[in-house]
Structure 1
Amino acid sequence: MKKTIFVFLSILFSCIGVNAINNARWITVPSGDANKPNTWISFRKDFNIEKVPSKALTQIAVDSKYWFWINGQMVIFEGGLKRGPNPRDTYYDEVDLAPYLKKGQNKIAILLWHFGKEGYSHKNSGKAGLIFNLKEGNIELISDNSWLCKIHPAYGNTGEPYPNLRLPESNIHFDANKDIANWQTEDSRGKYGFVNAHEIGKWGDAPWNTLVKRPIPQWKDFGIKTVKYKDIERKKGTGKDTIIAAFPYNMQMTPVLDVTDKKGGSLISIFTDHLYGGSDVGIRAEYVTKKGKQTYESIGWMNGHKLMLVVPSDVTVNSIKYRETGYNADPVGSFSCDDEFYMRFWKKALRTLYVNMRDTYFDCPDRERAQWWGDEVVLMGESFYTYSTPIHDLMKKGIHELIGWQKEDGVLHSPIPEGNYGVELPGQMLASIGHYGFWNYYMNTGDKQTIQDVYPGVKKYLSLWSLDDTGLTAFRPGAWTWGDWGNNRDMRLIYAGWHYLALKGAASMADLLGYTNDAKEYRIIMEKVKDGYNQCWNDKAYRHPEYKEETDDRVQALAVISGIADQLKYDAILKVFETEFHASPYMEKYIMEALFMMGQGEYGVERSKKRLSAMVNNTEYTTLFEGWYIGDIGELGGGTVNHAWSGGALTVIAQYICGIYPLEAGYKVFKIEPEPATFKTASISVPSIAGMIKSKFVSSSKEFTLEVVVPYGTEAIIYLPVGREREITINGKIPYENEYKTSSKYLYKTKVSYQLPAGNYKISVK
């Protein structure tokens, strides 16, 4: 059975765009110390070429991360991805080295960082290793025992506090007095005592197994920038000073220090204001100075709003710099409106989103860096409206990983990749595979192949779920019965709502793939769940008979967004939303969406503003919090201050207030259905897979105007707000009968609509 699964996964990930058989070897240092946690190894290889090729595609895999130079020039800053695509296998990078090569001698240098321990985002193989394969024309350069290597003596461990167990990365301690300066270009064998590498396996061997091509781009490097003098504060202490350098915003960065020490041997502690990310310890670093003036970059990324240095008082800090890096996609979407609160919210949501993406989407960049799929569903939704299309690769990677890590009994779990957790949170798993997860990915990208790849895993997971004698989803506790942070969680209905939405997504996938019987079966189960859910309606709210606490606002929202609740229940549900406030920021997004679906957008804007105000109005942080508050007045889930699920209202603004959503996969046909609510003006640009969509409305009692840009090769269905049926002009002309006629499948009985081909339009209703 295991063999069958791994064969399937190999096909699923579409393996290797490299020779299945090559002579490259996994290499490491001869010493067994290489496999210890937090080991750093330097590799060198010199070679000659007669002619620089136009292309030199090279495959590089490591355990766990690497930095790569050719002739002293940085080629890759932090290559490699955490393990892995599934519990066995490993990612490799493919890099074109041609731009860095020269005729004659070339010098390759690779610094490898072996994590050597498990985490919530990494599976430890147990061995440090590098494999390198370049075959281009007459050039063949492979890793073997002719390469030189050495454990880098300057790197080591700090003392306590250590990063918490969720993080596979260790703190970095660097002693400049033990550095092997210029080892990337100097004669490494004679001067530095490098030795021949030890061969420990070939391409495809255990413990790294099948090598899967990196599915996401290399990181974006924003370059090294200097912290301005006015943003640096020095607090004097007894023998040691604390220096605080403020960044323009919360970011993923590596600190760069320029210091002078007349004696040398001084210890500088390096950390950020996010060292204690919520409830647990994150990443920090240490630097031991050498004598004189020196520059040092601590290359393991941290995040924060401020860099903190504890420096001996007699050490001079000449300057503080930083290198910001992050996922290689750009925030090309834009939004503006007349509500200053939501402008601040959008800016913070966008910053929080970016600081929570790298190897995967993750819940927070300080405490965990872990790909929790409840978070990812929300983050994907935000990304579609804000980031350039390379962000879709990160989503696809996460989707494949979720199924790639599926257990033999069909259970899905997150976070993944993982080495020391592996717990099922049933509600999050149902959300991931369903309407808001996998299916929303397909509607925004049109990527049918990924749906084809993962559908068998979706079907297998859903087969684990059954119904009770009322038709309602039977309770599956999983390993962690988690429905949301906070209290008053009606778990039976939370799970049933997500189950219904998972079945809805699966039925759509089955339709797409031609599995008619599956789709029919899913919809039969959906009707039973719907009937069971509605048996829990007591004329005032949905409450499961076994639930005894205060009425749960979350389950009302799930009933609305899933379609379980009919419109006759909306008035009563609205009263629940006006009086019950139990959801965390994770589930509040769905409550805001439910209010818009109920025609209560004005209250949706008001409630969301009230709930988000503490974090949006906080001037100390540029990112949003995990819970509603921080500090003594209350935290949820540990209380990190950079949790992107709190940006879920961004999606509601784009999809409901501005009204943009695909009606056909890949935005071949999409809607623009603005619901202004309390907004007088709003303008948005959406970087869809089909091109940039633009929409701007101005709403007043006298006139409603809508300006739109419909990309080439697409069509837009424009729905005008209810009550806007007076004199309508499009580009200054009253449309004649049947001009811009809407196809019958997109007609609403209650709304005036037009179907517009590619172009620029201004619609006016007076």
Structure 2
Amino acid sequence: MELKKRIVVFFCVFITSIAAVANSNSWGNAQWIWQEEAGPANTWVAFRKEFNLKDIPENALANIAVDTKYWLWVNGEMVLFEGGLARGAAPDTNYYDEVNLKSYLKEGKNTIAILVWYWGRTRKVHDDSGKGGLLFYADLGQQALESDNTWKMKVHPAYDPKSGGGGGSANRVNAYNVKFDARKALGDWSDQAWYTSNYDDKDWNKPIVKGIANNKPWGTLVKRAIPQWNDRGLVNYESLTLKSNKEKVNLPFKNTTDSLLIIRAKLPFNQQITPYLKVNSKAGKTIVADMDNPFNMLKGTYITKNGVQEFESYSWINGHFVEYSIPAGVEVLELKYRWTGVGEMTGHFECSDPYFSRLWWMARNTLYVCARDGFMDCPDRERGLWIGDVADQTGAVFYSLDNAGRLLLKKGIDNTIAYRKGDTIQGLAPGFGAYRGKSSELTGQSLQFIDQVVWQYYYNTGDKKTLENAYPSILKYLKLWNMQPNGLPEHRKGYANWIDWGIDPDQVPVNVILYYMALNATKKMAITLDRKQDLEWLNLRIKSIKANFEKEYWQGNRYGSKDKLIEERVSALAIISGLAKKEHYNILVDSVLVPVKKSSPHMEWMVEEAIMLTGQYEKGLERMKVRYEEQVNMEWLTTLYEKFLPKLRGTYNHAWNAPNYVLSRYIAGVKPTSVAWETFEVKPNFAYLTTVKQIVPSVKGVIILEAEKTDKVYQVNFNSPAKTRATVYLPKEEKAIAKILVNGKEIWKKGKLKTKSKNLKLIDEDEDFISFEVEEGKWNFATIYK
């Protein structure tokens, strides 16, 4: 009994730490409302509430919670497209949104309308409460607007709950197909005049009150952890063609044939979209909007009524081409799409080799299309928050996405910690435990999470609260690992002995290194959090692995198990972790890391990073070009594949591709050197390139770097944001330096600093570089060679 009390207390403390938890005052007397039934699954329910306002309030913040998604209109104007987050922040919790209604309200009669979509099934990214529901509260100054039995409700008859979709197992997508029969629609509600105040809802039902805020089954309410989607509105496709003959389609277009025609609509690149159509048709025609994507699990189906009509399928899909099947006799007036997603892709990289510029762009697209309610493995087949996939995404987040991306990463950390199973950090949240009743621990991924996700998130953001929340669980997980007599950790298989899709994986030493990296990251956490009592245990294990790794796994020209075929992942991780001896670097690069190509994209970026860490940048670029060249040369492809093998490609938009992290950190050479980018390094490594440009959306502000190299001049332009300092490295290139100009003024001549400045100081000079530290501001350095 005492143990149960402790668990309850810990859980309450945890919830408070991960987000703003709604208290009773946040919801007044609002009630969860729904129909009499708890579901059923895949149900769309419409809610309306009319009310009068004497004065528009100073603030009109509404709290809205649903299981699972909703669309919100006020006075006929769409306020929010797809509110709600897949449930939950932790077991027995439900996210809620805070929405400002002020600009949509008017004096006199007002109408709020909400369409709620209840999924009703637990899969990888959503922990179903078991009951659909809407909870609404808004403080409108002199009055409160609360969900109760005075609202109007109707199960939307046009949406088919038997639409299917999402795949046949709990290992697939949570959402469903959308199938909408316009002949059963709700008047103005369905034909997109959208909730006019004159709409007649007399035949609508009173909802059933189901409970108050923070009650089960929905559980504790936790404020949405990320911003609302970046809704870019309905826009035209890049092009429309007939699939049968590739002939261009001009709108309006009428199918005058006797058969079905498919119009292929091209997107600018692989995006999360909802397809839209406007047609003139007789009733009973079936139009399907699907993706030309072999792994796509969802589609939208629309059955027409008579006349001009429009429809948008609200279940988002992704890919490069949307295919609309147009029946005979239907006239197509408009085809559009809505692109939504988390924040914006504000990072950028380009260089003198168009190959790497395109590759970085493809990798950025891949990252963004694999981000929504959480970071995910892929946006079509599973949408699962596998933490090893998040580890592959983490480094790229800080070079590619704005603050919304950083918040989504924090959410992934918090969700993973919340859904651990006992002391085991699981690989998936809500996880296999939610629908299989067992741990989803993939040991390699759980270890990656500690160093490559949690520590890197803290180091790049300075978010100490998230670190404090994660640290106790991380330490407990590391203590589950036993040590062997040889001084190395005993292998843990987890639920599957998997580390990588590639060829000839060597699981045991990979996990030994990842465990070592996790210990080192946890030691840094302990120091940061002043957990000195944990350092002795951590140091003991770190020293033991360091002392015994070489004799166990060095095989003369590679690192790995004696009885395993040569592969590159162990050697790469040995370099990244610091376990590899530097005298082995050249043989590792030349004998293993460049020629051996057995990794999948899940670990490929680590191989490329390892080469860069040895300083052999040209060879790192060489490997990257060979590995991704086939994909980059596919003109239609704008994201990157799950696998390299031609016959085993997997999804063409998988989270494991992170060349943008490697290119940004090691070629553009911009990286933090202290927590939260208070100090950072500017050290472009051109290899054979002549120009490089990088935009970094750092937590301190946007950093823009432009660098150029010729035989006579090395020039670098960059800015150091407010409250930061940058160290810039000027290469000697085995040449004599004639002079150095800073912001147009000569500061270095005849091998000496000519002038001094309080904003600039000489840090070091060795045989390779001269380095300067600069304060905030814009800087131009030009090194002139003799």
TM category (shorter chain) comes to over 0.9
1:33-48 alignment, distance < 5 Å: 34-48=38-52
* Residue equivalent to 1:699: 709
* Residue equivalent to 2:185: 179
* Number of residues of Structure 1 aligned to a counterpart in Structure 2: 748
1: CA distance between counterparts of 2:741 and 2:25? 59
1:280-679 alignment, distance < 5 Å: 282-327=297-342, 329-416=343-430, 419-420=434-435, 423-434=440-451, 436-535=452-551, 536-545=553-562, 548-574=563-589, 575-629=591-645, 633-636=646-649, 639-646=650-657, 648-679=658-689
Amino acid paired to 2:630: A
2: CA distance between counterparts of 1:302 and 1:394? 20
Which residue, 76, 82, 89 being the options, matches 2:80? 76
DSSP 3-state at the match of 1:107: strand
2: CA distance between counterparts of 1:750 and 1:528? 35
Which residue, 255, 265, 269 being the options, matches 2:288? 269
2: CA distance between counterparts of 1:471 and 1:285? 57
Alpha-carbon deviation of 1:221?
A: 0.9
DSSP 3-state at the match of 1:258: strand
* Residue equivalent to 1:254: 274
Alpha-carbon deviation of 1:654?
A: 1.0
Amino acid paired to 2:569: R
Amino acid paired to 1:92: Y
1:194-233 alignment, distance < 5 Å: 194-227=204-237, 230-231=240-241, 233=243
1:25-104 alignment, distance < 5 Å: 25-32=30-37, 34-104=38-108
Residues 58 and 468 of structure 1, relative CA distance in 2, 3 Å threshold = same
2: CA distance between counterparts of 1:147 and 1:707? 60
2: CA distance between counterparts of 1:715 and 1:635? 46
**Between 597-606 and 159-168, the greater mean CA deviation after superposition:** 159-168
2: CA distance between counterparts of 1:726 and 1:685? 31
Alpha-carbon deviation of 1:192?
A: 5.7
Percent identity, please: 34
DSSP 3-state at the match of 1:402: helix
- Asked if structure 2 preserves the Cα contact closer than 8 Å seen for 1:234 and 1:244, the reply is no
DSSP 3-state at the match of 1:330: coil
| Unaligned stretches of 5+ residues in structure 1 | none
2: CA distance between counterparts of 1:326 and 1:109? 23
Q: Deviations over 1:254-277 (max 9, x none)?
A: 111111223x11222221112x31
Amino acid paired to 2:141: G
2: CA distance between counterparts of 1:754 and 1:91? 48
Alpha-carbon deviation of 1:743?
A: 6.1
1: CA distance between counterparts of 2:388 and 2:314? 30
1: CA distance between counterparts of 2:155 and 2:612? 59
Amino acid paired to 1:634: K
Amino acid paired to 1:249: F
Residues 51 and 159 of structure 1, relative CA distance in 2, 3 Å threshold = closer
2: CA distance between counterparts of 1:659 and 1:717? 11
2: CA distance between counterparts of 1:470 and 1:722? 46
Alpha-carbon deviation of 1:764?
A: 2.9
Alpha-carbon deviation of 1:54?
A: 1.9
Alpha-carbon deviation of 1:190?
A: 5.9
Which residue, 2, 6, 9 being the options, matches 1:4? 9
- Asked if structure 2 preserves the Cα contact closer than 8 Å seen for 1:251 and 1:304, the reply is yes
DSSP 3-state at the match of 2:747: coil
Alpha-carbon deviation of 1:158?
A: 5.1
Q: Deviations over 1:2-50 (max 9, x none)?
A: 3133223222224325544744444334331x51110010111111111
Q: Deviations over 1:498-530 (max 9, x none)?
A: 111111111111110111232343232122122
2: CA distance between counterparts of 1:750 and 1:520? 39
1: CA distance between counterparts of 2:238 and 2:579? 56
2: CA distance between counterparts of 1:408 and 1:524? 25
- Asked if structure 2 preserves the Cα contact closer than 8 Å seen for 1:473 and 1:492, the reply is no
Alpha-carbon deviation of 1:563?
A: 0.4
Amino acid paired to 2:597: F
1: CA distance between counterparts of 2:281 and 2:164? 25
**Between 339-348 and 314-323, the greater mean CA deviation after superposition:** 314-323
Q: Deviations over 1:332-366 (max 9, x none)?
A: 22222101100111121122222111111111111
* Residue equivalent to 1:762: 780
Alpha-carbon deviation of 1:627?
A: 1.1
Alpha-carbon deviation of 1:635?
A: 1.4
2: CA distance between counterparts of 1:479 and 1:722? 52
Residues 661 and 111 of structure 1, relative CA distance in 2, 3 Å threshold = same
Alpha-carbon deviation of 1:742?
A: 5.6
Residues 86 and 707 of structure 1, relative CA distance in 2, 3 Å threshold = same
* RMSD (CA atoms): 2.3
Alpha-carbon deviation of 1:399?
A: 0.9
Alpha-carbon deviation of 1:750?
A: 6.0
2: CA distance between counterparts of 1:229 and 1:450? 45
2: CA distance between counterparts of 1:748 and 1:49? 73
Alpha-carbon deviation of 1:733?
A: 2.2
Q: Deviations over 1:457-500 (max 9, x none)?
A: 11111111222221222100001221111221110111111111
- Asked if structure 1 preserves the Cα contact closer than 8 Å seen for 2:714 and 2:782, the reply is yes
- Asked if structure 1 preserves the Cα contact closer than 8 Å seen for 2:240 and 2:263, the reply is no
Alpha-carbon deviation of 1:413?
A: 2.7
DSSP 3-state at the match of 2:148: coil
* Residue equivalent to 2:252: none
Residues 533 and 95 of structure 1, relative CA distance in 2, 3 Å threshold = same
Alpha-carbon deviation of 1:695?
A: 2.2
Amino acid paired to 1:640: T
DSSP 3-state at the match of 2:780: strand
DSSP 3-state at the match of 2:396: helix
Q: Does 1:733 align with 2:743?
A: no
Q: Deviations over 1:125-160 (max 9, x none)?
A: 110001011124312111111111111100014566
Amino acid paired to 2:377: D
Amino acid paired to 1:168: N
DSSP 3-state at the match of 1:221: coil
With normalisation by structure 2, the TM-score equals 0.91
| Unaligned stretches of 5+ residues in structure 2 | 246-254
Alpha-carbon deviation of 1:217?
A: 0.5
- Asked if structure 1 preserves the Cα contact closer than 8 Å seen for 2:22 and 2:221, the reply is no
1: CA distance between counterparts of 2:767 and 2:473? 39
- Asked if structure 2 preserves the Cα contact closer than 8 Å seen for 1:227 and 1:319, the reply is no
- Asked if structure 1 preserves the Cα contact closer than 8 Å seen for 2:124 and 2:173, the reply is yes
DSSP 3-state at the match of 2:179: strand
Alpha-carbon deviation of 1:212?
A: 0.4
Q: Deviations over 1:387-411 (max 9, x none)?
A: 2223211111111111011112333
With normalisation by structure 1, the TM-score equals 0.93
Alpha-carbon deviation of 1:231?
A: 4.5
